[in-house]
Structure 1
Amino acid sequence: MTVPLPSDLTFHPVPDVLAHLAGEWHVERTVRDLADGSEGRFTGTTLFSPLPAPDQGGLLHHESGTFTWHGTARPAERTLRFLPGAAAGTALVEFADGRFFHDLDLRTGRWTTDHPCVDDLYRGEFEVIGADHWRSRWRVGGPAKDLLLVTEYRRAHRAAGSSGRRAR
């Protein structure tokens, strides 16, 4: 379960979201069904790597790990595309098949966006806690869904004995 943030928390501005996200991140996500109170958990990694040719300037987001729901653990993965946005330092996020998902602007350290999906509405909130930690919250509401997904991302660092630089 995610620990609530202090009310006096300041956010970390990110002048270039694609440069900031590049590399590997440890991921922990809770998925709570607000209708019945059940909760699941995803743990794994997300790798933001350069998009393959012919695309340039964007990142391929590949997430993989284990999702546990109702006591059953299963492998899980997803792929997204992060492309340069209309304004410098922002991004346009697409599903792997090229459909629009949402925009992302972390220049103030926070961003809120919506994604309508058939009869459901996904409201996303993104917060950059520091150079190596960010969070997303998706509140999903609709006739068949009442969910809260909270994901913590922490930058993965190279193993001891490496150059000590961030994995990029």
Structure 2
Amino acid sequence: MAALALQRLAELRVAQRNEAWARSQGAKEYGQKHYPLFFVLHPSWMLFTLLEGRRREESVRPLALSALLLAQPLRYWVIRSLGRYWNTRILIVPGGKRVRRGPFRWLRHPNYAVVALEIAAAPLAVRADRAALAYTVLNAALLLLIRIPAEEAALREYAHQAD
């Protein structure tokens, strides 16, 4: 979990740089009210995975660990495909085009698919089954009921304004 936490902190720095660039281009932000939920969900997921996993004396589950490791290049493929547009907020840059390369050729929201895989796989790898179940459900609710609809609404509004 320490490596995953360090990875997330490094990614936040990239996201902040990209956010600053987007705002300098006149980006409009959407979904600000739900944004703090991510800063509760992700650190608590890591903490509860660590706490529950430490109590287990069984070995790591190789299949879940493999899934977690597989998610990492997928995650960076998403970040690379979005380039400067990748950040942790919903920012629409005027004149920007919707990214349709990389994994976006097949999925509308590949980053969320990768995060869902990580949120399930990391706790399962260390036998933190309750954390895997609880955070998979919480993440799915946040994404499906709040975040993705907010993102889609922002994209529709932007497309409507661009017409």
Answer whether TM exceeds 0.5 for this pair. no
Return the TM-score normalized by structure 2. Answer: 0.25
The structure with the largest strand share of the pair is 1
The structure with the largest helix share of the pair is 2
Return the TM-score normalized by structure 1. Answer: 0.24
